[in-house]
Structures are given as structure tokens and as C-alpha cells.
Amino acid sequence: GIELRWWIEKLLSITTDEGRDAGPAFASRAGNLASSTDYDAVFRVYLKQVQSDTNLIQDDHDVDMHYGISRTPRKSAETRAKQAKLDDSMQDAMNRWRTFENARGGRPKFKHTRDLYADAVAYMPLTWSYSYAL
């Protein structure tokens, strides 16, 4: 599974090195909330490195065309969750982003009201179970 503790400690180390002890975890050095596009170019650089050093990405795949920070990690997580035979209800709970994404700036329509009011902290055990399975 994904080593959550290691990644969280690494993130805290970076924010501490940047002199930030409050605010969003993924932020500019000034502390402003970063968007996924802020990381996309760096993400593709690493994917190109993976492509050149391993056989995980075929040589004839155009990384710039086929991969991106906004979709590649999600697709990978979905695939690994299916391979791990995780229950569909767990995947649906983890993928609340789809509901917001499909709303396209409008009000998201949740299948169940409980999904609308679900608290991220309360979802942590589910999140951890999902991450460990990957």
C-alpha cells in the first residue's frame, strides 16, 4: 500500500523548510493555495524519467498528450482499486470528486444526502483502508 505516514512527514518537512506552519499544505512559497496545474509540468518531467528508466510507460506514448496531474493519479487509483477488488461502495465514497466535477460549477447533486454532509475527518478510516489496499 501507499506509505501514508512517510508522505505526510515528507510534506511537513517541506512546508517547515519553506517557513510555513499554517495554511494549505499544497501552496506556493508565499502560502497561497496551489492548483493542480502548478504541479503538472513537474509531474510530466517525472513521468518522462519513469518512461526513459523503466518499462512502465511505453516508449511510443507521448507523455505530454496522454498524461497529466488532473487525471493520471485518479485513473491509476481506480485501476488499482479494481485490481484489489475493493467494494464499489468504497470506491464511490472515495470518488466524491466526480460529483463535484460533473456539476461543472453548479451545485453538485449527491445520490444520498449523507454523502453531502459526510465529514472528511469521519471518512479517514475509509480513506486509509482504500489507500492501504492500493
> Does residue 27 sit in helix, strand or coil?
strand
> What is the pTM (predicted TM-score) of this model?
0.53
Each residue's pLDDT, cut to its tens digit, for the chain (134 residues) gives 678 889 999 999 998 998 888 888 888 777 888 888 888 999 999 999 999 999 988 899 899 988 888 777 777 777 777 777 877 777 776 766 555 555 555 665 555 545 544 555 666 676 777 776 66
**Taking Cα atoms as reference points, which of 61, 118, 75 lies closest to residue 93?**
118
The Cα–Cα gap between 120 and 105 comes to 21
